[in-house]
Every structure is written in C-alpha cells, then in structure tokens.
Amino acid sequence: MVCVVLLVVSFGFLFFRAAQTHEMAAIRDKAQLVAELLNQNTDTNYEVINSGDTRITIISADGRALSDSHIGADLSVNRSDRTEFIQAVNYGSGEAIRASATLGADTFYYAIRLDNGNVLRLSRTLYSLGEVFTSTIPIFAIITIVILAVAYFIAYRLTRIIIKPLTEIDFDNSTSSESLYEELWPYMKKIDHQKAEIASQFATLRNRAETIDAIIANMREGLVMLDEKGLVLAVNKSVLDIFGISAKHDVVGQNIGYIYHDSDFMQGVKQCLGGAFFEMNFSRNNKFYNAFLSPGTLGRAVSEANDQPASGGAIVFILDTTEQHKADLQRKEFTANVSHELKTPLTTISALSEMMANGMAKADDVAGFSQKISDHTKRLMNIIDDIIRLSEFDESKVEKNFVKFDIYELAKTVIATLQDKAEEKSVSVELTGQPLQIEANNRLLDELIFNLLDNGIKYNKDGGNVTIDISYENDKCKISVTDTGIGIASQHQSRVFERFYRADASRSKKTGGTGLGLSIVKHIAEHHNGNVILESTEGVGTKVVCYIAI
C-alpha cells in the first residue's frame, strides 16, 4: 500500500509537471502563430473573440487593453506593470505565472511584442495539482486493487509453497527433515536431541512416581492426603483396611470425617489445617494406632509454583502400634509378676531366718526351716536364671553355638535326669521315633526338652504317661511331647507362652513352676528358626509340638 501511494504521489507530481510544461509550450507556440498573423495584418482595429481556454489580450504600448477575448474583461485596467508585458516591451517576449484569485489555480501569461509596438498576450489557467490527482484517482484506485489482488494471490501461493515442507515435518522421524530447508537442519537436530532428553527425563520421573506410588500403596502405615478444606485427595490401601472401607473411590473427594468420624480426630484435623502438628492414639477393632497429622507441604509446593498464597492441606500418617502396645502391657505385667514372684520366697526366707536368728525356732525345727530356706533359695535361683535367659533372648544376646548331635540321644539323657521325678508321680516316660542328626545349640535343646517333659510330668495324673517323639518332617526336626495329664482349658491355651502366665497358679507353684518354662521353649524354637504348636483338652492331656530347622 505504501509503495502504491508513493508511486501515485510521485507519478502524479511528475505528470503534473509534464502537463504544465507541455501546456506552457503549447501557449508559446500559439502566441507565436497569432503574433505572426497579426504582424502580417496592418489593420490595428482588433477584436479578438473567445478562443477556447486560451485568453487573448492585445495591449497597447502604454499598457491599455485594446481587445480581450475574455467576455466581461475590464479593458480600462492598465497592464503596463505586468511582468510579461514589461519583458515583452523590453525583450520581444515575456512570460509569468500568477495565482488566479478567482479559481485558486495558476495562470500562465505569455506576451509578444508586435511589429506595430502593441503587445499580444495569451494566458491560460494551468492544471492544478489537485485536479491532476482527482483526475487520476479512479485509475490509480483500479491499479491499486489489481496490484493488491495480484500481490495477495502471489503471497498466498508463495507462503503455501514455503510453508508446505514445514507443515509436513515428521518430528517422530528426524530423517524426513533431510528434504527440508537446509537452514532448519540444526534446529531439527536440536529438537531431536531435546526430544530424547525429555523422553529420558520423563521416564525417570515416571519411574520415580511409580516407585513412590508403589511404596505408598504397599506400606503398612496408613496415609491420607487432604486438601485445604479437609477433603481427601489421596488415600492408600492400609487406611481402607484400618477403617474397613471397601473402595478407594468411595473416599476420594469426601471429607476426612467420612473415614474416621471422631471428635478428637476432627479437632486435630482442624488444628492441622490451621498449620499446627497434631498427634493422637486411637484403637479400632482391637488394634491400636497412632495418628500423626502434619500441615500439608503438598499444597504449599503447588501454590509456590503457581505464585499463589499457600493453600494448606494436611497429611495424615497412621501407624499400627498394636505390637508396641502389647509389648508395653506385657512389660508392665512382667515387672509386676517378677516383683511378686521374687517377693514370695524372699518373705519366707526372711521370716524363717529371722526366727532362727532370734532363737525363736526350736532346735527340732531348725533342720526343717533350713530346708525350706534352701528350697526357696533354689526357687529364687531358678526364677532368676529363667529371667536372665529370657532377657538374653530379648536382647538377642544368645549365641548360636550350633553343633552337630543326635537329638534322639539328647532326649534319652533328659529322660534319665527326670526319671526320679517321674517315678515320684508314677508317670511313665517313653521315647519314640528314630535317631536324628541335627545342627543346633544342644544346651538350649536340652532345656527345651527338659521343660516340655517336666511340664508333662508335673501336670500329669498319677499313673499317667508322657511320650516324646523325635521325627523328621518337611526339612525340619519335629519334637512332640504328649501327656495324658490334666490338660489346659481352651481360654488359657493362647496365653501359656506368656511370661509368668499359669493356667492353674496354685498347682504350678506347688510343683515348683516359675511360669517361664513355655516362654523359654518358644524362644529356643524361634532361635532355631522354628515354632511351637500346643494342642490340649482339659482332663485328657496336652501335646506340644516344636519344629526346629536342622
């Protein structure tokens, strides 16, 4: 458009100049012609008549108009001061251009001195610049439209041709870029390189995300992520298990109260959404949990990225503390039991020794008292030995000390040590099975068999019997001790492995039991990668089976 306008203006101007020059030359020629005609004519009684666009005036030597072709021209005006007149009088011809007051255009005057001294003047209004432009505008408008149309068409075609290879670039196949402009090859290479880099970074990120997902999904601890309104954003399977919720989509998008509606917990959530940490214990379905609520850094990270004010949110972490809770309870019970177990014999020892020291004991009683003191001391020693053994197991201080030996032979020797006790109760002890070489801690297995046989004898009926069977089953050594004794009521069966737990406290004490024997048995079995199974029917008998890895 700018080019077209510039062209129109410059051509218009040139055209205007050319037209003016041409017009002036024509007037000069015409004036020469008329002057020649007039010079040939001696009649000076002129009367010029209207001769088209050109005005003809004949002026006398003193400047008066003798005749004028312009109708209504004022002949009385003296023209002796006009430039063209002065030049014509002095030099034979003269010319001038003056702005015409009426038309607002320039008028060209050309004067020639005639032979008789008069001056012939021709004048004509020249084309004005405005006129030139107005007359050429329609043509230029048409030209402009044509140029624009052609330019549009050519530009459209050219652009399509230039762009075609670009639109056909196959970014997945970099070799296709070879048909492309050479100038773009480096960019294609760069894109290829970046694509590979993005793909590898994406794979790394996906891997990382999958790893985190897998960790969250598989962790035993419960994890809930909340938005700033307390609505569930994400939840893992453990939470669903803890709260007995069947499907994840039931909870996502719900208020946290849908998962666990507890006033303390809800208060904690509120506190946490306000930016404070919160911790609480709760129990559900006989299990104990610790819930940790932390203000959500997730929301904060997102909002920082968006340059928005921190939005909050919370992370709830739920830890199963049932085992810890049980252990705490057991420890408390154990401490209470230990004190009780130690105090009873000590009280007796103290009372008897005081009586003897004060001379309150009769001479005949001294032997009996001393025996009692000795018995209680032995009992104390037994309890303390057992406690030490158990604490060693607790602290994993027991050394393996595995050696190869025949467990069948070991059982035989243990039976021999208990023979007297068995006979006292008229209980027969029998060994079945076959010799079996195992690699284990023989001192501990001696203790295990001793404890089981001892219980079988202690808690037996007069004339009953105990059988110990040694066999090989599923790559393990199986030691089963079966008795025909009093049995254990079902409600006690799961607890007899607890420390100091006794199904029948008075009987156990009478028989010298510490309540720690089966606990030690269980630890010894576990020390050998094994386990213990107890089956018992009250009044019928008990069977304890130990599996030991060999």
Which residues contact ligand ADP (rule: CB under 6 A)? 451, 455-456, 459, 483, 485-488, 496, 501-504, 508, 513-519, 542
Is the Cβ of residue 177 or residue 508 nearer to ligand ADP in the bound state? 508
CB of 453 to ligand ADP, least distance (A): 9
Segment holding 121, helix H or strand E: strand 119-125
Torsion of CA 267, 272, 277, 283, to 10 degrees: 40
Measured CA to CA, the distance from residue 517 to residue 449 in angstroms comes to 11
Nearer to ligand ADP, 32 or 344 (CB): 344
What's the min distance (Å) between Cβ of 530 and ligand ADP?
17
CB of 419 to ligand ADP, least distance (A): 18
* Nearest-approach distance from CB 474 to ligand ADP, in angstroms: 25
- How near is the Cβ of 487 to ligand ADP at its closest, in Å? 6
When the beta carbons of 200 and 494 are compared against ligand ADP, the nearer one is 494
CB of 109 or CB of 501, closer to ligand ADP: 501
CA dist 41 and 486 (Å) reads: 176
Work out the burial of residue 459: count CB atoms within 10 Å of its CB; fewer than 13 is exposed, 13-18 middle, 19 or more buried. Answer: buried
For residue 446, give Cα distances in angstroms to 12, 212, 451. 128, 49, 9
Backbone angles phi, psi at 7, to 5 degrees: -60, -45
DSSP 243-290: HT---GGGTTTSBGGGT---HHHHHHHHHHHTT--EEEEEEETTEEEE
For 272, residues 6+ apart whose C-beta sits below 8 A from its C-beta are: 278, 293, 294, 295, 314
Nearer to ligand ADP, 238 or 536 (CB): 536
The CB-of-386 to ligand ADP minimum distance in angstroms stands at 8
Question: Which two structure tokens, joined as six digits, stand for 512?
Answer: 């010298």
**Nearest-approach distance from CB 396 to ligand ADP, in angstroms:** 21
User: In degrees to the nearest 10, what's the CA dihedral of 258, 259, 264, 268?
Assistant: -100
Exposed, middle or buried by CB within 10 Å (0-12, 13-18, 19+), for 445?
buried
- Find the shortest distance in angstroms from Cβ 457 to ligand ADP: 9
Given a contact cutoff of 8 angstroms between Cβ atoms, the answer to whether 300 and 310 are in contact is: yes
Closer residue to ligand ADP (CB): 273 or 518: 518
Q: How far is the CB of 236 from ligand ADP (least distance, A)?
A: 41
Q: Between 54 and 460, whose beta carbon lies closer to ligand ADP?
A: 460
Nearest to ligand ADP of 333, 504 (CB atom)? 504
Nearer to ligand ADP, 322 or 537 (CB): 537
Rounded least distance, CB 454 to ligand ADP, Å: 7
Q: What tokens were used for 344?
A: 């009873």
| Sheet strands (E) in 327-463 | 403-406, 428-433, 437-440
* Residue tagged 């406690």 (tokens): 387
Nearest CB to ligand ADP, comparing residues 488 and 532: 488
Least separation in angstroms between residue 315's CB and ligand ADP is 45
**Token pair in block for residue 281:** 């214990």
User: How much helix, strand and coil, in percent to the nearest 5, is found in the chain?
Assistant: 50, 20, 25
Q: Which is nearer to ligand ADP, 251 or 481 (CB)?
A: 481
- Region for residue 69 given its phi and psi (left: phi exceeds 0; alpha: psi -120 to 50; beta: otherwise): alpha
* Distance of closest approach, residue 323 Cβ to ligand ADP, in angstroms: 21
State the Cα–Cα distance between residues 12 and 332, nearest whole angstrom.
114
| The dihedral formed by the CA atoms of 258, 262, 266 and 267, expressed in degrees to the nearest 10 | 170
State the residue for tokens 């030991």: 548
Nearer to ligand ADP, 230 or 456 (CB): 456
